[in-house]
Structure 1
Amino acid sequence: MNASPLTVRPFERHDVTDVLELMRGLAIFEGYIDKFFVTEADLIEHGLGDNPRFGVLVADLGGRAVGIAVHYVIPWTYDLKPTLVLKELFVDETARSSGAGAALIAALKRHAARIRAPRINWTVLATNDAAKRFYRREGGSHDAIWEPWTMPVEITADGGES
Structure 2
Amino acid sequence: MTDTQITVRPVRPDDEARWCELFRAYREFYRLEPSDAVVDRVWGWMHDPALPCGSLVAELGGQIVGIANHRDFLRPSAGTIGIWLDDLFTDPEMRGKGIGRALIEALQAKAAAEGKSLVRWITAEDNHQAQALYDTLATRTSWVTYDAVPRAN
Alpha carbons 1:27, 1:36 under 8 Å: kept: no
Alpha carbons 1:69, 1:88 under 8 Å: kept: yes
Gaps of 5+ in 1: 155-160
Secondary structure at 1:150's aligned position in 2?
A: coil
Q: Which residue in 2 is equivalent to 1:49?
A: 48
Give the aligned CA root-mean-square deviation in angstroms. 2.1
Secondary structure at 1:38's aligned position in 2?
A: helix
Cα deviation digits, residues 15-40 of structure 1 (max 9, x gap): 12211111111111111134674233
Structure 1 letter corresponding to 2:107 = L
User: For residues 42 and 135 of structure 2, what CA distance do their matches in structure 1 show?
Assistant: 32
Aligned residues: 153
Q: Say whether 1:12 aligns with 2:41.
A: no
Alpha carbons 2:24, 2:34 under 8 Å: kept: no
TM-score by length of 1: 0.84
Q: Say whether 1:25 aligns with 2:25.
A: yes
Q: Which residue in 2 is equivalent to 1:157?
A: none
Q: Which residue in 2 is equivalent to 1:79?
A: 78
User: For residues 103 and 91 of structure 1, what CA distance do their matches in structure 2 show?
Assistant: 11
Alpha carbons 2:2, 2:61 under 8 Å: kept: no
Q: Which residue in 2 is equivalent to 1:148?
A: 145
User: For residues 100 and 113 of structure 2, what CA distance do their matches in structure 1 show?
Assistant: 20
TM-score by length of 2: 0.89
TM-superposed CA distance for 1:142, in Å, is 2.0
Secondary structure at 2:80's aligned position in 1?
A: coil
User: For residues 127 and 36 of structure 1, what CA distance do their matches in structure 2 show?
Assistant: 27
Work out which of the two has the higher radius of gyration on C-alpha atoms and give 1 or 2. Answer: 1
User: For residues 35 and 3 of structure 1, what CA distance do their matches in structure 2 show?
Assistant: 34
Cα distance, 1:114–1:30 mapped onto 2, change above 3 Å: same
Alpha carbons 1:84, 1:112 under 8 Å: kept: yes
TM-superposed CA distance for 1:3, in Å, is 2.6
Pairing 1:1-162 to 2, within 5 Å after superposition: 2-34=2-34, 37-40=37-40, 42-43=42-43, 45-138=44-137, 140-144=138-142, 146-153=143-150, 161=152
Alpha carbons 1:75, 1:83 under 8 Å: kept: yes
User: For residues 8 and 93 of structure 1, what CA distance do their matches in structure 2 show?
Assistant: 18
Cα deviation digits, residues 81-128 of structure 1 (max 9, x gap): 101101011100111112111110110100111221121111111111
User: For residues 116 and 7 of structure 1, what CA distance do their matches in structure 2 show?
Assistant: 23
